[in-house]
Chains A and B, each alone.
Chain A
Amino acid sequence: MSDNKENTPMVNTGEYFTSGNLAVAEGSLAAGCKFFGGYPITPSSEVAEHMSIKLPQTKGHFVQFEDEIASIASILGASWGGWKSMTATSGPGYSLMLENIGLGIMTETPCVIVNVQRAGPSTGLPTLVGQQDIQQARWGSHGDYEIIALSPNSVQECFDLAITAFNLAEEFRVPVTILMDETIGHMSEKLVIPEKEKIEIVNRKKPTDEADGHLPYKADEDLIPPMAVAGEGYNVITTGLTHDERGYPALEADAQKVLLTRLLDKIRKNKDKIIRLEEYMLDDAEFVIISFGISSRAAKGAVNLAREKGLKVGYLRLITIWPFPDERIAQIAEKVKAIFIAEINSGQVTKEVQRVVKGEAEVHGLLKLGGAIHTPSEIVEEIERRLK
């Protein structure tokens, strides 16, 4: 067996002034990522470039594939070889990856996909910011599923959430998407990479039973099956077909129900472990701005600005976008008069909030359609206008 199997993290401890794209790459290395399969696309390419420098230094491999479909397929393969693996792309590439993200969900393959969002649809604004792949990350692959998506709002958090993403992928055996955006990806801030010992790493559960009679898709109580990988003598089996606990195709409704229920529940019943939120000035808030990613930076500025004007505005940031924090938002809705959602799309999170709030509070989208980020004063003015 190759000594590379250890997924030894590469932790470049120190203080840096660097970009979100480089930070997400460094976080992935610190999480123990050993394989990157990717295809160049603006505004994500710096992630690939950085991994192409660093991975070979840590006995990992970087391969630039012929397209994004090959990239995602390759990282699924590498994950089944026991290596933590990732790719990075933007909207058009993410569209191409979605079928195989579905394979990753069905085969319960840990891996991380970074989507540095730009404005679309189609080629759209390749070099300018967007947050328009929120629902695509949730529903883009065919069929029903639950998924995990995280959204950093600073360079430091690009690093931190890369580690979180790998940990969640390993723990829940699911592809995890990091929904960045062009502004976060390209802006530079201070990044502190801690010492290796201070970074918590989660690795996939391994089977402890004998290979003979091993049931690769029989889950433990936490609904997650231990994962043997190639070369360990378990004769691993995967298929995108509906399958039973043996991993054999089971092409009928009952087996579909059993499998899909588990795949949904392993995320739904573990929402508490997955959901991360940031709250600010919510205690006495009459109004709240919900935001995420780069938009949340303007939203927080807007909260401070509004407070200076005497408006009791609070702030909720979705660090985890999927699964959606239904319960917390419903609680907040009971206490506030209105909820504003600042996002760079036509209302993809706004509609989720409306679904959750069920009319308990007014819900207004503060929407930009891509190419520019909100300014704090813009948000405050819009809130004031809506309140008149």
Chain B
Amino acid sequence: MTEEEIGLLEAEEHPLDGYLRKGRIPHIWCPGCSLGSVMTVIIEAIKETDIDPKNISVISGIGCTGRTAGYLNFDSFHTTHGRAIPFAIGLGLTDPNRKIIVISGDGDLASIGGNHLIHAARRNADITVICVNNFQYGMTGGQVGPTSYKGQFQTTAPYSNLEEPFNLPELVKSCGATYIARWTALDVRRVKESFVEAINHKGFSFVEVLGACPTTYGRRNQLREGIAILESFKERAVIEHGIDTEKVAISKEGPIIVGKFVDIHDKPTLTDNLLSIQRMATASKDKGA
């Protein structure tokens, strides 16, 4: 987030008034962090969808990104570490008209919550998952994570990380996700377009936003300023819509492939399937079975 944006959030009158909870701002995020900007874009995207705010629920797990739900003035749920997705599925199934947006970090969604991520994709659950990937665990002080690339330094990878990172778009695609996009936090306009598409999408939609964490990622990896991280994203980002997600893994110095990778519309969702089962059950009950 830029100084200007922070200033906007602290101003008395603000275009986002009503969408942020009164008395919750200023937020806890560090200067130079992408999360404030991502939160603003989420609000803009929700506004653009024209969905009745009453029908929107936002669910987060634990971590810096996990704090997002609590700032947003919708029905908002800050859950336990990794468990935002199953909480969101239970909540969403109680009303097919409810739009469910999960926003959390890479560690929360792909490590401790990884099992729920892949199964939600497999079920084509009717939720939008926004994963802000900052390549490590920020809130706990910069430990290595499931998306840390080879050669990355973190507090628990003091000799550098030697493990392969998850390629998140490929992971969720192989499990059945029906909408997948990735952008850097710098590309606000395209991030917003993808958020709108993802929220309007029927079924499991996944948007990975590569975010800057200057505090615990940048300073250990020669990218001390948030802007330096974003600059590096900008230099390396290559838009490749529809590319095979096998080819979008992130490495230390290679290109960062961004774009909309998957957008499928004809696959039954978890809600569709459960409603079909209700019809089958009712028919079977009426037959006296």
On A, residues with C-beta under 8 Å from B are: 1-2, 4-5, 34-35, 37, 53, 56-57, 59, 61, 63, 65-67, 69-71, 73-83, 85, 99-100, 102-103, 230-241, 246, 248-249
B217 CB to closest chain A CB, in angstroms? 24
What's the Cα separation between A35 and B70 when bound, in Å? 26
* Interface residue from A76, A240, A248 paired with B90 (Cβ < 8 Å): A76
Across the interface, A35 reaches (CB within 8 A) one of B75, B78, B80, B94, namely B94
B80 touches A103 (CB 8 A): yes
B247 an interface residue at 8 Å Cβ cutoff? no
A81–B91 CB distance below 8 A: yes
Complex: A44 Cα to B80 Cα, angstroms: 25
Which chain A residues lie closer than 8 Å to B115 at the CB level? Answer: 66-67, 70
User: 7 A-B Cβ contacts within 8 A?
Assistant: A5-B95, A63-B90, A70-B83, A70-B86, A77-B87, A77-B88, A237-B78
Q: Hey, which chain A residues are within 8 Å of B93, CB to CB?
A: 35, 61, 63, 78, 81
Q: How far is the CA of A103 from the CA of B86 in the complex (A)?
A: 14
Is residue B222 contacting chain A, with contact meaning CB distance below 8 A? no
What is the minimal beta-carbon distance from A154 to any residue of chain B, in angstroms? 28
Contact indicator B285/A99 (Cβ below 8 Å): no
A102 to B97, CA, bound (A): 29
> Nearest-CB distance from B213 to chain A (Å)?
21
The listed residue with most A CB atoms (<10 A of its CB), out of B55, B74, B78, is B78
Q: How far is the CA of A73 from the CA of B94 in the complex (A)?
A: 14
Q: CB distance A66 to B94 under 8 Å? A: no
Q: A2-B95, A238-B77, A240-B80 are in contact. Are A56 and B278 (CB under 8 A)?
A: yes
Q: How far is the CB of A106 from chain B (nearest CB, A)?
A: 10
Q: Could you tell me the distance between the alpha carbons of A66 and B121 in the complex, rounded to whole angstroms?
A: 12
**Contact: A57 with B80, CB < 8 Å?**
no
For residue B239, CB closer than 8 A to chain A, the reply is: no
How distant is B257 from chain A, measured CB to nearest CB, in Å? 29
Q: Are A237 and B274 interface neighbours, CB within 8 A?
A: no
Asked whether B280 lies within 8 Å of A56 as measured between CB atoms, the reply is yes
Interface string of B13-44 (1 = CB under 8 A from A): 00000000101100000000000000000000
| Distance A100 CA – B87 CA, assembled complex (angstroms) | 10
Q: A69-B83, A236-B75 are in contact. List 17 more A-B contacts (CB 8 A).
A: A35-B94, A37-B90, A57-B278, A59-B278, A61-B278, A66-B116, A70-B115, A73-B80, A73-B116, A74-B87, A74-B89, A81-B93, A81-B94, A81-B95, A103-B79, A231-B55, A238-B78
Chain B neighbourhood of A78, CB < 8 A: 90-91, 93-94
Q: Interface size on B (CB < 8 Å)?
A: 44
Q: Is B143 an interface residue (CB 8 A)?
A: no
Across the interface, name the chain B residue whose C-beta is closest to A230: B75
Quote the shortest CB–CB distance from A309 to chain B (angstroms): 53
Q: Which of B112-141 contact A (CB under 8 A)?
A: 115-116, 119
In the assembled complex, the CB of B243 is this many whole angstroms from the nearest CB of chain A, namely 29
Q: Which of B91, B94, B270 has the most CB of A within 10 A?
A: B94
CA of A37 to CA of B89 in the docked complex: distance in angstroms? 10
* The residue from A56, A233, A234, A248 contacting B70, defined by CB atoms under 8 A apart: A248
Please, how many angstroms separate the alpha-carbon atoms of A69 and B54 in the complex? 28
Q: Is the CB of A231 within 8 A of B21?
A: no
- B215 within 8 Å of A (CB atoms): no
Q: In this complex, which of B96, B277, B281 has the most chain A Cβ atoms within 10 angstroms of its Cβ?
A: B281
Quick check: B116 and A1 within 8 Å, CB to CB?
Answer: no
Which residues on the B side are within 8 Å of A102 (C-beta)? 80
Interface residues in B40-63 by Cβ distance below 8 A to A read 54-55, 57, 59
Chain B residues contacting A2 (CB-CB under 8 Å) are 94-97
Which residues from chain B contact A69 at a C-beta distance below 8 Å? 82-83, 86, 116
Q: How distant is A108 from chain B, measured CB to nearest CB, in Å?
A: 13
Contact A53 B74 (CB under 8 A): no
Decide if A236 touches B88 in the complex (CB within 8 Å): no
**Nearest chain B CB to A216's CB is how many angstroms away?**
11
Known: A2-B95, A240-B79, A241-B78. A37 touches B86 (CB 8 A): yes
A83 proximity list for chain B (CB < 8 A): 94
Q: Does B98 contact A (CB under 8 A)?
A: yes
Count chain A CB atoms within 10 A of each CB in B86, B92, B98, B270 and give the residue with the most. Answer: B86
- Return A338 CB to nearest CB of chain B, in Å: 45
Question: B57 near A35 (CB under 8 angstroms)?
Answer: no
Residue from the set A5, A53, A240, A246 with the largest chain B CB neighbour count within 10 Å? A240
Contact A57 B94 (CB under 8 A): no
B280 contacts A80, CB within 8 Å? Answer: no
Given A73-B79, A230-B57, A231-B95: A249 in contact with B70 (beta carbons within 8 A): yes
The smallest C-beta distance from A114 to any residue of chain B, in angstroms, reads 17
Q: Known: A53-B281, A56-B280, A231-B55. Is A1-B87 also a contact (CB below 8 A)?
A: no
User: Are B80 and A231 touching (Cβ within 8 A)?
Assistant: no
Query: CA of A57 to CA of B73 in the docked complex: distance in angstroms?
Result: 36
Q: Which of B54, B76, B78 has a CB less than 8 Å from the CB of A231?
A: B54
Tell whether B282 is near chain A: CB-to-CB under 8 Å. yes
Q: What 1/0 flags go to B245-289 for Cβ under 8 Å of A?
A: 000000000000000000000000010001001101110110000
